[in-house]
Amino acid sequence: MVQGLGCASFISKALWKVSKLAAGLVGFVGPIVGKIGEFLMVPVGSHFGYLFSYKSKVKNLEDEVKKLDEKRGAMELSVDEAERNVKVIGPDVKGWLERVDKCSEEARKLLDPMLLERVEANNGCLYGWCPNLPLRYSLGKKATNKAKEVAQLHEERKLTEVAYNEPLSGIESTSTEGIKVFESRRLIMNDVMEALKDDRFHMIAICGMGGVGKTTMVKEVAKRAKEEKLFDEVAMAVVSQIPDKRKIQGEIGDKLGLKFEEETERGRADRLCERLKGNKRILVILDDVWKCLELNDIGIPFGDGNRGCKILLTSRFDNVCNYMNAQKKFTVEVLTEEEAWNLFEEMAGISNDTSHTSTDLYITQKKVADECGCLPIALVTVAMALKHKDRHSWNAVLQQLRKSMVKNVGEVEEKVFKSLELSYDFLGSREIKECFLLCSLYAEGFNIPIEDLVRYGVGIVMFEAIDSVNEARDRVHAFVDDLKKGYLLMDGEREGCVKMHDVVRDVAISIASREEHSFMVRCDEALKEWPEKERHKNYAVISLRCTGMSKLPDNLEFPKLHLLRLEDNYASKLPNLPDSFYRGMKELKALSMLNVYIEGSLPTSLRWLTNLRSLSLYECGLIDDVSVIGALENLEILSFKGTEIEELPKEIGRLSHLKLLDLIQCGVKRICPGVLSCLSKLEELYLGSSFNDEHRIEESKATFTELCGLSNFTTLVISLDSFAYWPRDLVLPNLKAFAIIISPMIGITDCCDYQLQNQLSLENLHESDLLESGFKNLFKITKILEITQAVGVKNVAYDSDKDGLKKLTELFLQDCQDLEYVIDTTDGAPVPQIAFPVLQSLLLNRLDKLKEICHGQLPEEAFSVLECQVLRDLPALTHLWKGPTQLVRLHNLTSLELERCDKLESMFSLSIARGLMQLQELRVYECRKMEVLISSEEEGDQNEIASTTTDKIELLQLKELTLSQMPKLNSFCNTSYSYYDSIQPLFNKVCFFDLSLFI
């Protein structure tokens, strides 16, 4: 009876509303009645629509939600792609996704089958003969409103920008002890911050001598300004002695995410100015300004009309700050005596124990620190040079500091010069000192290739007791490490390069210019002509920047010159070298030309350089004829890197002392037959991506075969399109270092530091290519192995090296259609005692038949140092590790990623999981059959299961855990013990998309 009364009540109320609306129409006449009737009947129709058309409204909602789900999926794919390309996700994307999730969840409640079944049931009144009208009305109304909300989300998606290119950050505080922690620096930085907040100041300057810490200070200021939200963006550019406007514009543009399409400097300046005049607050930092800079020419707005952009500059020169009209200027002095001693004490490792402060050694150390002039760079370099030295060394150094010849370098104070000179004197061996001075041959701020130092050193016979180029390379890298530790060099911005602090470089040039060294370095300025007074001096080393010269002289006389380095910018296209250019340099041992444009033939006077041991022509245009080089019979190093040559002529075969031949990026198509076989002392050959002419396959193979007879040959870098170019019978038994790439898609563009990692990258190969070619010998020393699209290869470890690839550190396997196991120990062959003992990275991708990583008994210590494991698209993989897992020790594993391994039901057994003490990142995507991460069932040992109540699984280093699209995942571990407390803490990102239970 209650249900019947409820339904009748609802009907009577609905009829009452209708009657009231109809009655309201009776009192009106004419056109007014018609209009009001229209407006009043609309809501009436809507209410009846909720009641009698609820099915269509529910169906409409269902269709709209389905479309919304599709758009959400597309948005997630776009977000994933953007993140892979390091883009910034739009700020409204996350909000849209959250609103979609909320709306979809609410809609699905309305579309719940149980709810719809209740609506359909005739249990409203009259003992089940009348439908449930209130429920139908409510559902129809809610479905209509929710459909409108879904439609609104559809429209918002059209206006949502997924991602944007993120400007390069590039400005990070590099402050160290002695710079930002001292009171003198803190006070100045606070004052600078206050000036930046003051709207009266648009340009602020920080002045001080070189090496005092101005650059470090502005980087720290930039960091604080961003943290305190004083500016929306911060951009920094290094100006240096010879300002390069395009470079400055480019550095600022990179930080702001601005791409220039204009070719002219004026056009770029206008574009940059427009960007800086926008609505955002921008801080532009101009570091190391040597002379007055025309900001308008660069595109930096300045003045009262532009309050959104502020400029912070640093300079060694007070007058430059005045000329630039800096409105607020701060001077950074050297450290106070107390600060200087604290810095020196820390860097030299001096104990501050009171029992030590009265000793003679401590007193001497204090005096040495006093001699450093309180300049941070001097304090650090001297302290590092004397660290852990005995009393006699400290006394000797103190005497040297007091008696050193005083010589100013620019505005650098006398004590600073003496301090840095002392660091040079204290280097020890002649070889490391010469290596240090060679670094002064480059322009200020230049990224100095370490390989250049190697080749110069071999050329000028800098090394003692060296038998090979690689020994020289090892020695130079050891020198560079020592120089960096002593703060005389620092890391470069490019791999394989170093840089010199400008003050250190000033001192190095001053030392190198002394008579005993006789360097002439003029590479910071564009010379219009060869220095007239410098034509006939007894220089031993010359480094010149030729940019701006209309021609080079032909009457030079440098009878004692050992090393000549010429640099141009290539675009100037300096006329060809005079034919007699080298005639007066008969003692020259090392010649390097960078971007010096040469067209046609080399000067014939080159043949006079019979003592030349190193010749490097870097990016020197197109040279048709290099046959004159054949006369340089003492040549040991020959490089055409980046210089276009068509052919290596037969005359090169006369270079019987040649040890290194570099043809990277030179486009050489042919090496004349017999040339390589005549280079009896050749040790290193860098071929790059040449020799891929399909019409010369047999000739190329014959050329490579010539390498077999070279007993000293140890190093090879080559890139070929296919195995067709590689001789199957080529065996290089003495090869120790290599980068061999056989792939139509991957080439070699550079060798960076020339310290090779023994890399083999093989694509489109057959099993026979591994078994029959000379690669079998190389696998034993390969460190990086990449195999893509291999046919017939079922077992990498056995097919390539039965000894277990003992040197391999990285393994990448992709699209190998027949591969079943990475290693198989059940095929009847003896089980290797060791397999993959030093493997650090394992990446397996798109291997349709891969069943297991290891089939059979795992060799001892296999994968024991593995750090990173990535497994993607492995549809046949059923176990990561199957069978007895006591020998599986993954205690160095830090990162594991699984994606689309459809047959994988679990990841680890209990015994393996207990060894994951270093695991930091665990990501699992779309493993649709995975039910549990850690399984006790694989153990097959009840004792193991029973022990879990007392032996915890501790993943103490785990920082990121991502589980996505895993519909069957229901447990972290399927034992009776709870491991929830052992997962701690999950710091950065914890995503449990489908996980319902921790056990």
pLDDT of residue 140 exceeding 70: no
- N-term to C-term CA, the chain: 50
> Would you call 259 helix, strand, or coil by DSSP?
coil
Using a 10 angstrom Cβ sphere, with 0-12 exposed, 13-18 middle and 19 or more buried, the burial of residue 909 is: buried
DSSP class of residue 423? H
**Predicted local distance difference test score (pLDDT) of residue 176:** 40
Res. 413: pLDDT tops 70: no
Cis amide leading into 985 (omega within 30): yes
Q: Which amino acid is residue 283, in one-letter code?
A: L
pLDDT (0 to 100) of residue 206: 95
CATH class of the domain defined by 427-517:
mainly alpha
The residue-averaged pLDDT of 428-454 equals 94
Domain boundary assignment for the chain = 2-165, 183-331, 337-405, 427-517, 867-999
Q: Give the DSSP H or E segment for 328.
A: strand 328-331
- Cα 220 to Cα 205: distance, rounded to the nearest angstrom: 15
Average pLDDT for 833-847? 91
Q: If DSSP codes are grouped into helix, strand and coil, which group holds residue 441?
A: helix
Q: 760-771 burial string, b = 16+ CB within 10 Å, else e?
A: bbbbbbeeebbe
User: What phi and psi values does residue 671 have, to the nearest 5 degrees?
Assistant: -110, 120
Q: What distance in Å separates the CA atoms of residue 710 and residue 660, rounded to the nearest whole number?
A: 13
CA within 13 Å, CB half, 434? 22
Pairing mode of beta strands 715-720, 684-688: parallel
Residues 6+ apart with CB under 8 A from 318: 207, 329, 331
Q: Which helix (H) or strand (E) holds 853?
A: strand 852-855
At 809-830, the pLDDT tens digits run 999 999 999 999 998 888 665 6
Instruction: Let me know if the fold of 183-331 is the same as that of 337-405.
Output: no
The Cβ of residue 811 has, within 10 Å, a number of other Cβ atoms equal to: 22
pTM above 0.75, yes or no: no
- 480: confidence class by pLDDT, cuts 50, 70, 90: very high
3-state class (DSSP) for residue 785? strand
Going by their DSSP bridges, the two strands 841-845 and 868-872 should be labelled as parallel
Give CA–CA dist 892/357, Å, rounded: 45
270, 279 Cβ separation under 8 angstroms: no
CA distances from 549 to 241, 522, 593 (A): 19, 13, 15
Pairing of strands 810-814, 614-618: unpaired
Tracing tokens 């399409």 back to the chain, one arrives at: 261
Instruction: Tell whether the model's pLDDT for residue 728 goes beyond 70.
Output: yes
CATH 3.40.50.300 corresponds to the domain 183-331 = yes
Residue-wise pLDDT for 302-329, tens only, equals 876 677 899 999 998 888 888 899 999 9
CA-closest candidate to residue 408, choices 509, 307, 294: 509
The CA distances from residue 329 to 283, 302, 323, 575, in Å, are: 16, 16, 12, 47
Strand partners, 522: 544
CB 801 within 8 A of CB 780: yes
Both tokens of residue 963? 């589980």
* 3-state secondary structure string across 506-532: HHHHHHHCCCCCCEEEECCCCCCCCCH
Fill in the amino acid letter for 359: T
Residue 946's pLDDT band (cuts 50, 70, 90): very low
Beta strands in 224-327 (DSSP E): 233-240, 282-289, 309-315
Tens digit of each residue's pLDDT (9 = 90 or more) over 40-99: 444 545 555 555 566 777 777 777 878 878 888 888 877 777 665 556 777 777 788 888
Q: Which of 388-397, 765-774, 786-795 has the highest mean pLDDT?
A: 786-795
Please name which of 275, 280, 287 lies closest in space to residue 248, comparing C-alpha atoms: 287
- Could you tell me which CATH number the domain at 337-405 has? 1.10.8
CA distance 963 to 765: 36
**Amino acid 359: pLDDT:** 83
Q: How confident is the model at residue 754 (pLDDT cuts 50, 70, 90)?
A: confident
Could you tell me the CA-to-CA distances from 788 to 548, 743, 798, 799, 855 in Å, in that order? 50, 9, 17, 15, 21
Give the CA count within 13 Å in the CB-facing half-sphere of 430. 7
